[in-house]
Chain A
Amino acid sequence: MEITLELIVFTILALFTVVSAVLAVTTYRILRAATYLLFVLFGTAGIYFQLNYSFLGAVQMLIYAGGITVLYVFSILLTSSQGDKAEQIRGYKLYSGLAATLLSLGICLYVTLKHDFRPSHFEHGELEVTAIGHTLMSPDKYGYVLPFEVISILLLACIVGGILIARKR
């Protein structure tokens, strides 16, 4: 297996993402956790770019990294009045959580790696944005206009609900 640029880039991205993910759930400072989450999201976007789904990567960056993370940061700043340190957890809760997680991770990796996926490579080629647009707006088979509209309504409802719940009474 020769070392290609692609592999190097992937390795860096994967390491960056995984380390950030682990740090996001182990750091005690909640603001740092949000920042690590942002790194994870960036890493994920990088993975999407590498898979030639540039549109999806852009969406990921825009919505997740740009929107949601900002929302997190704001709410953290709003709610963490007595310092943003999360309390330490220790004892059997930590160990049981850790043990369950690691065991499950082991099993999942075992199952994943044991399975032989075919084909294990893909044709290069960027997905056309026009194709995405057509599929998204197509009412045919393999068209996504209905989910698109449903999502629109869901987002509207979320906006209304978020405002209703969070507003001062």
Chain B
Amino acid sequence: MEYTILILVLPLLSFLFLGLAGTRLRPAAAGAVGTAVLAVVTAVSYMTAYAYFFGQGRAADGLYPTLTPWNTTWLPINDTLSIDMGIMLDPISVMMLVVISTVSLMVHIYSFGYMKGERGFQRYYAFLSLFTASMMGLVVATNIFQMYVFWELVGVSSYLLIGFYYTRKEAVAASKKAFIVTRFADLGFLIGILFYGYYAGTFSFNPQTEALAAAGMIIPLALGLMFVGGAGKSAMFPLHIWLPDAMEGPTPVSALIHAATMVVAGVYLVARMFPLFIGYAPDVLHATAIVGAFTSFYAAVVACVQSDIKRVLAFSTISQIGFMIVALGVCTSADPHSGGLGYMASMFHLFTHAMFKALLFLGAGCIIHAVHSNEMSAMGGLRRYMPVTHATFLVACLAIAGIWPLSGFFSKDEILTACFAYSPVMGWVMTAIAGLTAFYMFRLYYGIFWGRENRTLHAEHTPHEAPATMTLPLVVLAAVTLGAGFIPFGHFVSSNGTAYDIHINPTVAAISLCAATAGIALATWMYARERQAAAESLARRFATLHTAAYHRFYIDEIYQFITHRVIFRCISTPVAWFDRNVVDGFMNMLARGANGASYLIRGMQSGIIQHYCIWFLGGALVLTIILLFIR
């Protein structure tokens, strides 16, 4: 399957071409090139997936083989340790190829309509291509270091795309914030990689067991540090602060990067390292479950009170990624039949979530396109103006709420089953969060399409349905969302590779459906009507909580406090003082010394001949005295 190299090379070439040709191309031509290349990439990805899962099928031992069609030694470090670059195909990377190429293609098509007439249209497509290439490189990485390289490239393209509207101050600040926070987390990742490379003696994903056994406590530490990097990319609490701000980027970018693909890189990382986690660091794995659950809960609560629709979706993304992390974290063994269910559930949820969250973001993009605002107060009653968007948005909301027979139901049900199998407490907590998810998603849905309509604004500027280039991706993604639940996902991806049939646990399914329905019903009662007395009185009664949640529980402010007051004042200021006064001072002293010495001997070079004459006379005198008397 050597042709898989095209998946990496084509978007990269497209990036180079679009980036270099730039404004010499007409915008439409640039978009067409980018989209066409991505269509080819998508086709190749699908072909790869088909060939991998169906063409060659399972090996004799009943597992899908791990293939490396390409591999070159990039940086040999010593005889045994080297950094390779290559392509590795296994079930999850092939699955990710499909997800990324699908969503990316949809976003490319969608952007034709959404970004029409924007300045820097060509640049936008160049960056999209770069992102796609990096993300593909990340998922097919043959070793952890290649993954890290592409991981950083993904971070760079995310930075570039968030700051796409670089004339807007908020966008610039958001891109910097995203870059710095994820870089900070990546520091942990890099240290983890170095620990791992040093003690395991390899960067590959399947090291020798003796080396790992000898490393002892280092491997859990390395894996924990890697998870810090993953947590930064996947916006786990408390490193989530960049993701809501990242919504300053163009909405299709939010759909592609900050909902469907890049933010699940952390989940993918944990899944990729899963055999090591489960084998050598189960405690770290369970700790990630706690982090994931808390993040999920926190984000769900915050999402309930946000008024900016993209922020609601951002927090719902954080919450859903929390679900995936939890699902991985609750795994207790690699056997899907006993304790390893979460792995498959997590990957399944990753897959379905990518589709419906991209759909939600693209739908939100259509809505923002129509009303020119992110605020819910500018919306309401939009179902009459935008029927296609309304229908697809509803599908996505139902999916994320977990209503049968949409894809979200199946994946979330698997996660909840895994959680209940791990511990009932975790199960109930996650079920409650699932109910909360249904509530805030339908609050969003009603706030946009029903509820109190902003008639004055709509009279001035009647909202209209988006053009076909924008609705087509919505319809495609809605179709995928409708059908994806019936994919026998366990047959493709499972924790130890063996085929596994998804069983719907009736008790768990009933509980989760009840929770989802309750959430939806509550949201309907509170927000579907023109008057929202219940919601307002509730907000008044719990004013403190409401304000705190609206301000995201002041996490940003705490960061601000820690960075500005604590780190800047207590560490940076003394260090800056040291640098300015001691380091610079030393240099200044040298300079001043040279300067002073020059001033001292400047008199010798006065340019006045009579002074030279005296010096000459003095010199001759000294020489004479030496020759005459000192011999």
A101 to B620, CA, bound (A): 11
**Residue numbers in A under 8 Å from B628 (CB-CB):** 107, 111
Do B614 and A107 touch across chains, with their CB atoms under 8 A apart?
Answer: no
Do A107 and B624 touch across chains, with their CB atoms under 8 A apart?
Answer: yes
The answer to whether the Cβ of B514 comes within 8 Å of any Cβ in the partner chain is no
The answer to whether the Cβ of A100 comes within 8 Å of any Cβ in the partner chain is yes
Residues of chain A from 50 to 101 with CB closer than 8 A to chain B in the complex: 93, 96-97, 100-101
The answer to whether the Cβ of A22 comes within 8 Å of any Cβ in the partner chain is no
The answer to whether the Cβ of B567 comes within 8 Å of any Cβ in the partner chain is no
Do B621 and A104 touch across chains, with their CB atoms under 8 A apart?
Answer: yes
- Chain B, interface size category, equals 10 to 19
Do A107 and B618 touch across chains, with their CB atoms under 8 A apart?
Answer: no
A115 to B415, CA, bound (A): 117
The answer to whether the Cβ of B487 comes within 8 Å of any Cβ in the partner chain is no
**Residue numbers in B under 8 Å from A100 (CB-CB):** 614, 617-618, 621
The answer to whether the Cβ of B625 comes within 8 Å of any Cβ in the partner chain is yes
The answer to whether the Cβ of A103 comes within 8 Å of any Cβ in the partner chain is yes
Do B624 and A96 touch across chains, with their CB atoms under 8 A apart?
Answer: no
Do B614 and A97 touch across chains, with their CB atoms under 8 A apart?
Answer: yes
Do A96 and B614 touch across chains, with their CB atoms under 8 A apart?
Answer: yes
**Residue numbers in A under 8 Å from B614 (CB-CB):** 93, 96-97, 100
**Residue numbers in A under 8 Å from B625 (CB-CB):** 107
**Residue numbers in B under 8 Å from A97 (CB-CB):** 610, 614
The closest CB in chain B to the CB of A104 belongs to B621
A149 smallest CB distance to B (angstroms): 33
A26 smallest CB distance to B (angstroms): 16
Q: Considering only CB atoms and an 8 Å cut-off, how many residues of chain A contact the other chain? A: 9
A32 to B314, CA, bound (A): 101
A103 to B618, CA, bound (A): 9
**Residue numbers in A under 8 Å from B617 (CB-CB):** 100-101, 104
**Residue numbers in B under 8 Å from A104 (CB-CB):** 617, 620-621, 624
B78 smallest CB distance to A (angstroms): 70
A97 to B625, CA, bound (A): 18
The closest CB in chain B to the CB of A89 belongs to B610
Residues of chain B from 592 to 611 with CB closer than 8 A to chain A in the complex: 610-611
**Residue numbers in A under 8 Å from B621 (CB-CB):** 100, 103-104, 107
**Residue numbers in B under 8 Å from A96 (CB-CB):** 614, 618
**Residue numbers in A under 8 Å from B610 (CB-CB):** 93, 97
The closest CB in chain A to the CB of B624 belongs to A107
The closest CB in chain B to the CB of A114 belongs to B628
Residues of chain A from 121 to 164 with CB closer than 8 A to chain B in the complex: none
**Residue numbers in B under 8 Å from A107 (CB-CB):** 621, 624-625, 628
**Residue numbers in B under 8 Å from A111 (CB-CB):** 628
The closest CB in chain B to the CB of A103 belongs to B621
A115 to B614, CA, bound (A): 27
A111 smallest CB distance to B (angstroms): 7
The closest CB in chain A to the CB of B611 belongs to A93
**Residue numbers in B under 8 Å from A93 (CB-CB):** 610-611, 614
Residues of chain B from 573 to 631 with CB closer than 8 A to chain A in the complex: 610-611, 614, 617-618, 620-621, 624-625, 628
| Binary per-residue interface labels of chain A (23-60) against chain B in the complex, 1 for a CB within 8 Å, 0 otherwise | 00000000000000000000000000000000000000
**Residue numbers in A under 8 Å from B618 (CB-CB):** 96, 100
The closest CB in chain B to the CB of A100 belongs to B617
B618 smallest CB distance to A (angstroms): 5
A100 to B625, CA, bound (A): 13
A101 to B618, CA, bound (A): 9
A93 to B610, CA, bound (A): 10
A101 to B614, CA, bound (A): 9
A104 to B624, CA, bound (A): 9
A103 to B610, CA, bound (A): 17
| Binary per-residue interface labels of chain B (503-517) against chain A in the complex, 1 for a CB within 8 Å, 0 otherwise | 000000000000000
A96 to B614, CA, bound (A): 8
**Residue numbers in A under 8 Å from B611 (CB-CB):** 93
**Residue numbers in A under 8 Å from B620 (CB-CB):** 104
A101 to B621, CA, bound (A): 10
A7 smallest CB distance to B (angstroms): 31
A103 to B620, CA, bound (A): 11
Name the residue in B611, B621, B628 with the highest tally of chain A Cβ atoms < 10 Å from its Cβ: B621
A169 to B432, CA, bound (A): 106
A53 smallest CB distance to B (angstroms): 31
A29 smallest CB distance to B (angstroms): 20
B623 smallest CB distance to A (angstroms): 11
A101 to B628, CA, bound (A): 18
**Residue numbers in B under 8 Å from A101 (CB-CB):** 617
Residues of chain B from 297 to 338 with CB closer than 8 A to chain A in the complex: none
A93 to B615, CA, bound (A): 11
Residues of chain B from 16 to 42 with CB closer than 8 A to chain A in the complex: none
Residues of B within 8 A of A (CB): 610-611, 614, 617-618, 620-621, 624-625, 628
18 further A-B pairs in the complex, CB-CB below 8 A; given A96-B614, A100-B614: A93-B610, A93-B614, A96-B618, A97-B610, A97-B614, A100-B617, A100-B618, A100-B621, A101-B617, A103-B621, A104-B617, A104-B620, A104-B624, A107-B621, A107-B624, A107-B625, A107-B628, A111-B628
Residues of A within 8 A of B (CB): 93, 96-97, 100-101, 103-104, 107, 111
Q: List 22 A-B contacts (CB under 8 A).
A: A93-B610, A93-B611, A93-B614, A96-B614, A96-B618, A97-B610, A97-B614, A100-B614, A100-B617, A100-B618, A100-B621, A101-B617, A103-B621, A104-B617, A104-B620, A104-B621, A104-B624, A107-B621, A107-B624, A107-B625, A107-B628, A111-B628
Report, nearest first, the 4 A-B pairs whose CB atoms are least far apart.
Answer: A100-B617, A100-B618, A104-B621, A96-B614
